[in-house]
Structure 1
Amino acid sequence: MQAISVRQPWAWAIARGHKTLYNQSLPTGYRGPLLVHASMRVDLKAGDSALMHSAGWDPADPLATLGAVIAVAELDDVCAASAGGAVHGEDDRHCSCGAWAEPGAYHWRLTNVRTLHRPIVSLGRPGLWQPPPTLVADVDAMLGTAELNR
C-alpha cells in the first residue's frame, strides 16, 4: 500500500472520478492500491480552470477538504510518452491520456477509485509515500475490505 498527496482541487477531481490520472515528474514501478491524500496545499488557479468547471468543482463537497485521505485508487499503469519515454506504441511527443494530462509529465493511470465515507485526517508527504499502518487500518475499516493489506 502506497499513498500520494495531491493538491486540491485535483484530489477532489480524482476522488469524484473525473480525473483518472495523476501527473508526476517521476515514473514509478509500483502498481496496486494507492491512498489519495488531499494535501494541505491548494492550487489556487485550478479552481478557475475549464476542466474543473466541467467536472462540477464544489468547494463545499466534503471531499474538497485539506489534510486528509479521501479515496483509494488502483495505480494500474504509468504513461511515459509525454515525458520522453515511448511506451505502449505511443511516440515521445504525444500520448492519449486525455485533457487532464500535463505535457512533459508521467501520467499515473488510476482506476477503481473508491471514495471514503468521511475524510481521514492525516499528514502527507511529497511524491509516493508509505502510509503508517494505523492509517491503512482506518481506511481498511472504513471501506470494510481486506484488499488494502496487499
Structure 2
Amino acid sequence: MRAISVQQPWAFAMVRAGNGVFNQGSPTAYRGPVLVYASLRVDLGACDSPLILAAGWDPADPLATVGAVVAVAAIEDVCSDAVLDGACDCGPWAEPEAHHWRLADVTPLPRPVVALGKVGLWEPSATLVGEVRAMLASAASRTG
C-alpha cells in the first residue's frame, strides 16, 4: 500500500464530492490501494472555487482536517493525454497539462488518522496502515 499527499480542500473534494482525479506533474506506474493523506499545506485559493463550493466545503467537517489520513482509495489508471496533446475527457476536476491519476473506490475513514506525511506518492508505515485497516474493519463490522 502507498499513500498520496493531497492539499485541502482537494482531499475533502475527493471524499465528499467524488473527485476521482489527482492532478500531478508526473505519471506513476503504481496501481493499487492508497491512503489519502490531507497534507499540512492548504490551497487557500481553491477554497472559494466553484468546484470546491459545490462539493460542500466545510472547514468544520472532520474530513477537512490537515495532517491526517482521511480516506482510502485505489489508483486505477493514469491519463497523460492532457500533457501529450492538451486534451482529455477526465472531467471538471482534471487540470490542463497535468497527469490525471484516476482514483476509484474512495472511502472516507470514520475519523481522520493523524500522521506525518511526505510529498507525492509515498510508503506509509506498517503501523499507520494497520491503524487504518483496523478502523475500517471495525466500522464494517458495526454496519454489516
Answer whether TM exceeds 0.5 for this pair. Answer: yes
* Rounded Cα–Cα distance in structure 1 between residues aligned with 2:122 and 2:69: 13
Work out whether residues 7 and 43 of structure 2, in 8 Å CA contact, stay in contact via their aligned partners in 1: yes
Q: Deviations over 1:6-60 (max 9, x none)?
A: 1000011112243111000010010000100000010000010011111111111
In structure 1, give the amino acid aligned to 2:70.
I
Match of residue 135 from structure 2: 142
Counterpart of 2:26, as a letter, is L
Aligned residue for 1:73? 73
Q: Which residue of 2 aligns with 1:36?
A: 36
Task: Trace 1:76-91 onto structure 2 (pairs within 5 A).
Answer: 76-84=76-84
Give ranges in structure 1 of 5+ residues lacking alignment.
Answer: 85-91, 146-150
TM-score, structure 1 as length reference: 0.89
Query: Which is richer in helix?
Result: 2
Q: Is the 8 A contact 1:13 1:19 kept in 2?
A: yes
Q: Kindly report which structure 2 residues correspond to 1:1-150, keeping only aligned pairs within 5 A, or say none.
A: 1-84=1-84, 92-144=85-137
Q: How big is each residue's C-alpha offset from its partner over 1:44-96, in whole Å with a ceiling of 9 and x where there is no partner?
A: 00010011111111111100001000000011000000111xxxxxxx22100
Please, what is the CA RMSD of the aligned residues? 1.0
Contact 1:41 1:66 in 2 (8 A): yes
User: Where has structure 1 moved over 6 Å in runs of 4 or more?
Assistant: none
Query: Among the aligned pairs, what percent are the same residue?
Result: 59
**SS of 2:44 mapped into structure 1:** coil
List runs of 5+ in structure 2 lacking aligned partners.
139-144
